[in-house]
Structure 1
Amino acid sequence: VVLSGDEGAVLELAGRWKNKRLRVSHAFHSHLMDPMLDEFRSVAEKLTYARAIVPVAGQPARVDAEYWVRHVRDAV
């Protein structure tokens, strides 16, 4: 299980179990990513996407800019 969000709330909850803090630059998959989503979407819409040549487990039928925006913000 990975917890993401406001540091204080995450630390409080994580303190209930044995845990290891990951060293990351941002709280991916949390509301803390919201301020950058519009700019991220703008950049992602300029890219060209194609299905992976090597099969990837769980790869969606369509990968586009909105897929990556959801990936930054939503739980995975």
Structure 2
Amino acid sequence: MSPVTCSQTNNKNKRLPTTFAWTSRGKTAIVRWEKNFGKYSPQERCQSVAPRFQEAYDNGTLQMITNGKINGQPD
């Protein structure tokens, strides 16, 4: 099984696309995608980001996940 996946979670009675990572503590939610971002739906963002997290994990470069801004926009 892939250490990083995209699936659904329940949050405040809403099903949200969620990026998960398998850790020593088990399956852990990393990002819950709630809002559209430009032309991308939460589901599209989840499916786009999960493989990039997986690639960074496979390359040994995924060490820490944080939030910030990209192109002046909050993550």
TM-score (norm 2): 0.26
Query: Which has the larger Rg?
Result: 1
Q: TM-score, normalised by structure 1?
A: 0.26
Does 1 or 2 have the higher relative contact order (CA < 8 Å, sep 6+)? 1
More strand per residue = 2
